[in-house]
């Protein structure tokens, strides 16, 4: 098998594994996934809002979930680690799921979008953007954006400081896609320059220059004898 096929199969396996874990951990509040290969096997790190629901009594649910992903996706000795999300308002995936749930409960999309943006900004985010696309009103597809603060769309800042989440709200008219972008509070943009130690520099001391003797205009007009 060529290297290209191996890369494609590995990425497909990761996507299918993520979709499966999103469904299984929906009640616990899925907030993110990290898959790392180690010499001991495959370590899967799950970020949840309520990890107790996913772990179960004495770890029974997490053991069954580990066995399922081992048989379904042929992972080598999978080990699932569950972490709790301390600040769910700054987790883009969690906020996308909460917004989709709000839409399914019957909230108007404008009210739900502005409420989500306000909650994210009050948590300390530098910027956020919510994109709703689908049959929001009527039979035609449309897209609505709700934005606050600073959001970058390209460059290194997007990879370092922007967290993205996506979820789907299933309504009677159709499916509405929910995209949430959050710029982290610790973001440092390239155009922000801070000069260190400006206040600690010693102030400049004025230097007194020696006085210059003024030459009378009559003496200055007469050339010296060497010049003649």
Q: How far apart are CA 117 and CA 219, in angstroms?
A: 82
Q: What is the CATH number of domain 3-84?
A: 3.30.300.20
Asked whether residue 216 carries a pLDDT value surpassing 80, the answer given is no
Tell me the average pLDDT across 40-59.
86
Do the domains at 3-84 and 88-183 have one common CATH topology?
A: no
Angle between helices 60-73 and 3-24 (to 10 degrees): 150
Tokens for 102? 């709000």
Which of the two residues, 213 and 109, has the higher pLDDT score?
109
pLDDT mean over 178-203: 79
Contact 32, 97 (CB under 8 A): no
**120: exposed, middle or buried (Cβ count in 10 Å: 0-12, 13-18, 19+):** buried
Q: The pTM is what?
A: 0.75
Confidence of residue 114 (pLDDT cuts 50, 70, 90): very high
pLDDT at 99: 94
Can you name the CATH fold of 88-183?
Ribosomal protein S3 C-terminal domain (3.30.1140)
Domain ranges of the chain: 3-84, 88-183
pLDDT > 70? residue 22: yes
């Amino acid at each position: 098998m060529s290297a290209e096929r191996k890369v494609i199969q590995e990425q497909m396996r990761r996507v299918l594994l993520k979709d499966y874990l999103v469904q299984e951990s929906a009640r616990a509040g899925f907030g993110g996934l990290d898959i790392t290969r180690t010499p001991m096997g495959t370590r899967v790190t799950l970020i949840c809002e309520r990890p107790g629901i996913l772990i179960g009594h004495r770890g029974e649910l997490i053991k069954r979930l580990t066995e399922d992903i081992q048989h379904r996706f042929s992972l080598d000795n999978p080990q699932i680690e569950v972490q709790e999300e301390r600040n769910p308002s700054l987790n883009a995936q969690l906020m996308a799921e909460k917004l989709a749930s709000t839409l399914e409960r019957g909230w108007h999309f404008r009210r739900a979008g502005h409420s989500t943006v306000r909650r994210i900004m009050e948590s300390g985010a530098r910027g956020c953007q919510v994109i709703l696309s689908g049959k929001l009103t009527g039979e035609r597809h449309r897209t609505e954006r709700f934005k606050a603060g600073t959001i970058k769309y390209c460059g290194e800042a997007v990879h370092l400081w922007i967290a993205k989440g996506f979820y789907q709200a299933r309504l009677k008219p159709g499916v509405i896609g929910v995209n949430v972008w959050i710029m982290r509070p610790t973001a440092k943009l390239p155009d922000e320059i801070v000069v260190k130690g400006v206040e600690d520099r010693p102030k400049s001391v004025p230097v007194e220059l020696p006085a210059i003797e003024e030459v009378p205009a009559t003496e200055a007009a007469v050339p010296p004898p060497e010049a003649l």
